[in-house]
Chains A and B, each alone.
Chain A
Amino acid sequence: MIPAIDPRYDARKKRARVAMFITAGATVVSSALGGTRFSGWQWVPWVLGLSLIIVFCAISMNAGGGLRARRGMSGISGLSGRGRGAGDRSDGKVAHRWHGLVMVSRMMPGPAGRRWLAEAESVLWEIAATRRATAVRSYLLSGPRLAAVMWAHEGLRWVRPGPRHPR
């Protein structure tokens, strides 16, 4: 049996990511600028300032807005709990698979992935609870192949002359 998702896990993951950004950013900046352009401790405010910018970017990326937010178009989260009645809460297995759907959507080109996820979310929201797990599975099975097809289309769009705006 797959255990239910620990809500603290996501928070820990976010904090770890932010820490990683800070460390990486500070290391790069201090090594690139510290020894060459600044004398003494002049580089410290620069590193701190840049670290703050990195933290701000990392937090806004994690807060759902982000550069590649994949929450779907509804504003209601997927199957992970928010927006659903307590009695209607899907089992841990299905909620766990929602993360799988998000991962698959990230394999697709930007707008196409967002649309696929939003549509999956819409269908899975309304489908009978008994059929939900099978439906999620069908999305997970067809997703990678669809991603390949979408990238092929995307590639052709870039190769062909003409407008390159997404559909």
Chain B
Amino acid sequence: MGLRLTVQVQLVLQALLRDPAREMYGLELSEETGLQPGTAYPILLRLEHEGWVTSRWEDVNPRAEKRPARRYYRLTAGGAVQASTALAGARRPKGAALRHLAQGDGVA
């Protein structure tokens, strides 16, 4: 089954495409897209299932860092190409939709 390019998915892909080599963790992505973390997670999982995104746990000692390990996400080489193509062909999200998402109640 193909990936449905909802506004939320587009926002996540745009954030990841800004620097495809950069790894981003959940909170970072959530802040950059304006999506709630609970909304961004299923999208990232779907992208990972499709092979567009790869993820890994941060290799830190939680006790030393005094925080839990982060899960980092990054576009795969193929995923970056597919995401660019998909976004180029996708309908641009309207300003009203983005404002609605920025208020934090969008669910994918």
- Chain A interface residue bracket vs B: 20 to 34
Q: Contacts A73-B57, A139-B37, A142-B107 known; A122 to B42 CB distance under 8 Å?
A: no
Residues of A within 8 A of B36 (CB): 134-135, 137-138
Partner of A140 from B30, B38, B41, B67 at Cβ < 8 Å: B38
CB of B68 within 8 A of CB of A142, answer no
Closest to B41 in A: A119
Minimum CB–CB distance from A36 to chain B (whole Å) comes to 52
CB of A138 within 8 A of CB of B104, answer yes
**Chain B 89-108 residues near chain A, CB threshold 8 A:** 104, 107-108
CB of A122 within 8 A of CB of B38, answer no
B22 interfacial contact with A, CB 8 Å = no
CB of B62 within 8 A of CB of A141, answer no
- Taken together as a complex, chains A and B put the C-alpha atoms of A161 and B41 apart, in Å, by 28
A143 interfacial contact with B, CB 8 Å = yes
Q: Contacts A123-B30, A153-B49 known; A135 to B37 CB distance under 8 Å?
A: yes
Partner of A122 from B63, B66, B68, B107 at Cβ < 8 Å: B68
- Taken together as a complex, chains A and B put the C-alpha atoms of A127 and B26 apart, in Å, by 10
CB of B38 within 8 A of CB of A141, answer yes
Minimum CB–CB distance from B30 to chain A (whole Å) comes to 7
Q: Contacts A73-B69, A118-B68, A122-B70 known; A142 to B39 CB distance under 8 Å?
A: yes
CB of A72 within 8 A of CB of B41, answer no
CB of A149 within 8 A of CB of B38, answer no
CB of B104 within 8 A of CB of A146, answer no
Q: Contacts A74-B69, A75-B63 known; A139 to B42 CB distance under 8 Å?
A: no
CB of B107 within 8 A of CB of A141, answer yes
Minimum CB–CB distance from B29 to chain A (whole Å) comes to 10
Extra inter-chain contacts (18) besides given A134-B36, A141-B38, CB under 8 Å: A73-B68, A74-B67, A74-B68, A76-B67, A76-B68, A118-B68, A121-B68, A122-B67, A126-B70, A127-B37, A134-B104, A135-B36, A137-B38, A138-B38, A139-B41, A143-B38, A145-B42, A146-B42
Q: Can you identify 22 A-B contacts, CB atoms within 8 angstroms?
A: A72-B68, A74-B67, A74-B68, A75-B62, A76-B63, A76-B67, A118-B71, A119-B41, A119-B71, A122-B25, A122-B67, A122-B70, A122-B71, A126-B67, A126-B70, A138-B39, A138-B104, A142-B39, A142-B41, A145-B42, A146-B45, A153-B49
**Hey, which bits of chain B sit against chain A, CB under 8 A?**
25-27, 30, 36-39, 41-42, 45, 49, 57, 62-63, 66-71, 104, 107-108
